[in-house]
Structure 1
Amino acid sequence: MKKQIFGFKCAFKGIIRTINSESHMRFHIVAGIYVMLFSMFYSFSPTQYAVLVLLITSVMALETVNTCVEDLCGLVADRYEPLVKFAKDAAAGAVLTVALGAAVIACIFFLDFNVINTIFTFFAENLLYLIFLLISAVISAFFVVLGPVGIKEKFIKLKNRHLTKG
């Protein structure tokens, strides 16, 4: 049992490290959250929800593998190597392939102009939800660009600047 718990702990560390170091992973997380949020406006079947979850997790899993490949390539080659470049490009290509497939499926699932109109109407009539959506978009942009570590560092710098001025 200890071995399994240790394995889960290591797996979570790998996921957290990928989130902290890779803006693409943070983008995929944010995109997945918004996909699931807006899916509530649709009448998706359980199978369609399963496809969405499978696609979201597949893209994130491949992004984690891509990070692993990039890190290992950086470890074994301290100068330009064509095979190392190919390995890194191929890993990135795998992520892109699945992400493009996910985007096509999202268009198939979500491109219903009646529902899109319902979404716009909902937010136009519910100012509080619109404000929450806009705030979440700004927070998401900071999360994607800076990451959790970068955001923490920015707040510490702002706090220290404020303390030295006062």
Structure 2
Amino acid sequence: MLPPSSFEPLPQHEQKSEWRKFIAGFSYAFSGFWYTVRTQRNMRVHVLAAIVAVGAGIYLHISAIEFALIFIAITGVFITEMINTVLEVCVDLASPTYHPLAKIAKDVAAGAVLVNAILSVIIGLFIFLPHLLALF
């Protein structure tokens, strides 16, 4: 059966079903985030660093723009860590035994997280260093 055109309203029972699917999507997404936090040591380190960065931002009264940059950096690291986790799980599923190409895939994905984490540290230094130096 073809989906209804975008101009035709869905029947009432299908609207409720679509709403439930939409809400369920959030549940799945939070479950995926929580899986990464529970199973990946580096993600827990990233979460701790994010809490420290936000706390430091509050303590140092950084500007809204600076907070936005900090949140972009935090989110970037979280996203790359989660994509790294996805790739590792998929590689393990496809290649349960050691394979040099599987190692390369995992190493490159981990490298992406490292590059993003380094960028986040640099952003943090640009934002926090002037505020910290002003304290002394």
Using structure 1 for the length normalisation, give the TM-score.
Answer: 0.66
Following superposition, the deviation at residue 82 of structure 1 comes to 2.0
User: What residue number does 1:52 align with?
Assistant: 70
Q: Which runs of 5+ in 1 are unaligned?
A: 118-166
Q: Which runs of 5+ in 2 are unaligned?
A: 1-18
Q: Identity of counterpart residues, as a percentage?
A: 34
User: What residue number does 1:79 align with?
Assistant: 97
Q: 1:32 aligns with which of 38, 50, 57?
A: 50
User: What residue number does 2:110 align with?
Assistant: 92
Q: What letter corresponds to residue 23 of structure 1 in structure 2?
A: R
Following superposition, the deviation at residue 31 of structure 1 comes to 0.5
DSSP 3-state at the match of 2:59? coil
User: What residue number does 2:24 align with?
Assistant: 6
- Asked if 1:110 corresponds to 2:124, the answer is no
Count, aligned residues: 116
Q: After superposition, give the CA deviation of every residue in 1:89-125 in whole Å (9 maximum; x if it has no partner).
A: 111111111100000111111113223x4xxxxxxxx
Tell me which of the two structures has the higher relative contact order, counting C-alpha pairs closer than 8 angstroms and 6 or more residues apart: 1
Following superposition, the deviation at residue 30 of structure 1 comes to 0.7
Following superposition, the deviation at residue 79 of structure 1 comes to 1.9
What is the RMSD of the two structures over their aligned residues, measured on CA atoms?
A: 1.2
